Amino acid sequence: MLNFAAPTPSPAIRISIVEENDTIKKSLAVIIDSAYGYQTMSTYQTWHQLTEHFLKERAQVIIASISEANRRLQLHLEKNIQQFKKLFPETKILVFSVFEEEKDIFPILRAGADGYLVKQTSYADLIEAIKEVHTGGAPLSFSVARKIVNSFHRTTHPYLTSREEEVLRLLAMGKTYSQIAQDLFLSGETIKTHIKNIYTKLNVRSKSEAIRKGIRAEAFPMVF
């Protein structure tokens, strides 16, 4: 009789939460910890606290939560993300915010956020977004993706061909490579070639970086 060892379970995704509201912060931790394969390492009220303790915990994903319609918090978030990414560039940051206007979203993405969800997002979708951002994706709420795509329509990137711009817009909408291939009636290999060219021309290494480059301030001056 053959004996097979049980498969080794994948390690849980390590997550830290930054949120000023204690009740919401605790609720997010409970929701995350109730999902298999996810672990809340710590929760903080400020980014200063997160940075101070980060080396001890090394969370892989940071949930940056803003639950109050206080623009001060959103403006501070841009600065905090920039500073944190300089210290820990490989750590993923997923924003979960009440703000969903272009003037609030785009600076956050340019600052280095890897994904952006609005507060209407279901908790099930939040869990999926954590997994997506952890594996190199750029999760965006539909309303956020639509604003990015609309901005792409208002301008062109000087380095990209029209086809490459079209591929980048579909990436911003959250489409997979196979979905983009179907939408554009192209092969999967052709789409991979376009994406490789986009990454090379924009000097980026991931989808989230490409989207951030596409919405940089000089490309969309009318937004700010």
Placement of tokens 């890897």 in the chain: 114
Q: What pLDDT shows up at residue 80?
A: 94
pLDDT grade, residue 8 (50/70/90)?
very low
Residue in 114, 124, 111 with CA at minimum distance from that of residue 60: 114
Distance in angstroms between the alpha carbons of the first and the last residue of the chain: 69
pLDDT bracket for residue 215 (50, 70, 90): low
pLDDT averaged over every residue in the chain:
83
| Residue 134: pLDDT over 60 | yes
Which DSSP category does 112 fall into?
T
Whether 141 shows a pLDDT value over 60: the answer reads yes
Q: Identify the band that residue 43 occupies on the pLDDT scale cut at 50, 70 and 90.
A: very high
DSSP one-letter code for 101? S
Percentage of the chain exceeding pLDDT 70: 87
> CA–CA separation, 2 vs 157, rounded Å?
59
Per-residue confidence (pLDDT) for residue 153, from 0 to 100: 61
CB 145 within 8 A of CB 172: yes
Pairwise CA distance, residues 73 & 55, whole Å = 24
pLDDT tens, 58-87? 899 999 999 887 777 777 898 999 999 999
Q: What average pLDDT does this structure show over 101-112?
A: 86
What whole-number distance in Å separates Cα of residue 80 and Cα of residue 87?
11
Domains and CATH numbers, the chain: 14-139 (3.40.50.2300), 145-223 (1.10.10.10)
pTM for this one?
0.73
Give φ, ψ of 63 to 5 degrees: -95, 115
**143 pLDDT above the threshold of 70:** yes
Closest-CA residue to 215 (of 137, 129, 170, 149): 149
* CA atoms within 13 A of residue 154's CA, in its CB half-sphere: 14
Torsion of CA 180, 183, 189, 192, to 10 degrees: -30
Token duo for residue 33: 């910890």
